[in-house]
Amino acid sequence: MNKSFKIFVYPHKLDDPFANVLLPEDYNPEGPYTSELYFKKALFNSHFITKDPNEAHLFYMPFSILHLRHDPRIGPEKLQDFVKDYIFNISHKYPFWNRTGGADHFYTACHSISEIAMDKTVEAKENSIQLVCTSTYFVTGYFPHKDVSLPQIWVKKHDPGTLVSSKRNRLAFFAGRVNSPVRAALFKHWVNDTEIFAHFGGLETNDGKEQLRSKFCLHVKGFEINTARVTDALHYGCVPVILANHHDLPFTDILNWKSFSVVVHYMDVPVLRKILQGISFEELSWLQSNVMKVRKHFEWNVPAVDYDAFYMTMYELWLRKSSVRV
């Protein structure tokens, strides 16, 4: 992949009225939905870019769904029209979209509004590669064999330092609002438990203190399937517990999630403590050891580093380019 994979990015100038949407930032963005921005920034500065579209394997449509959502000229109301017009323009100005019906094109998005972004361009939703954080089998329009699950990563300013497992004296941790039936069930059964710390709402400080003292960190589906809790858990050396049915987890074509996480069905919330306490010391040590090995795959770096989230995402795209036939 490193030697031959090439991406053509549709060009836009600095004086473009929507340069803020189409070009990468010259700063490091912050927040829970910035994975799409870090990917774009890394791609623009990578050796994968080609200015010759004839040697490109894939074509990148660089609009930011996140910035479109917050742009007062567009917002959620005009988002679909912007995407529709953008694809109309590139399909008339360039010949590449029409060769494959957009099957060798891709875009990135981390906010859940991406689920409706392509509703006025059905061809794009069905054909193009969607590189999204809202990766669930349950949503119509997401196709795991075609689309790519983008990890939702809230980039931390500081490394947590020592991640010694012997100091983890709590079984499991979760903090969040009740905005889904599975979260309601979690709080119903475990809000007053001494082993599973289920905290209603956000924490006063997000310094990782609770994750660092817990063996397991829960990712419980909320209003949407995706949150940064999974990658937060890995960052702090905590074994993720996935309570999110139908979640197409990031990098499943590359990583074996069973080797560093625990996947639990909604129906098993009432016996969650029994499941986690049933994991032997040896198995827990194995899971924790593998968490330390995979942490690097869920980090955005500036500039990008081999095997980090950017290169892992590029490899997922590389796997999919072989299914496109011009």
Q: Where are the domains of the chain?
A: 7-153+300-321, 165-298
Whether 102 contacts 128, CB under 8 Å: yes
Nearest to residue 63, comparing CAs of 122, 109, 118?
109
Residue 221: name the closest of 180, 172, 176 by CA.
180
Q: Which of 258, 230, 260 is nearest to 244 (CA)?
A: 230
Q: How many Cβ atoms from other residues are within 10 Å of residue 2's Cβ?
A: 12
Residue 181, phi then psi, degrees to nearest 5: -60, -35
Write out the chain's pLDDT in tens, 326 residues. Answer: 999 999 999 999 999 999 999 999 999 999 989 999 999 999 999 999 999 999 999 999 999 999 999 999 999 999 999 999 999 999 999 999 999 999 999 999 999 898 899 999 989 989 999 999 988 877 777 888 899 999 999 998 888 877 877 789 999 999 999 999 999 999 999 999 999 999 988 776 777 999 999 999 999 998 888 889 999 999 999 999 999 998 999 999 999 999 999 999 999 999 999 999 999 999 999 999 999 999 999 999 999 999 999 999 999 999 998 666 55
Does CATH place domain 165-298 in 3.40.50.300?
A: no
What are the structure tokens assigned to 56, written together? 């490109």
CB-count burial class (<10 Å; 0-12, 13-18, 19+) for 59? buried
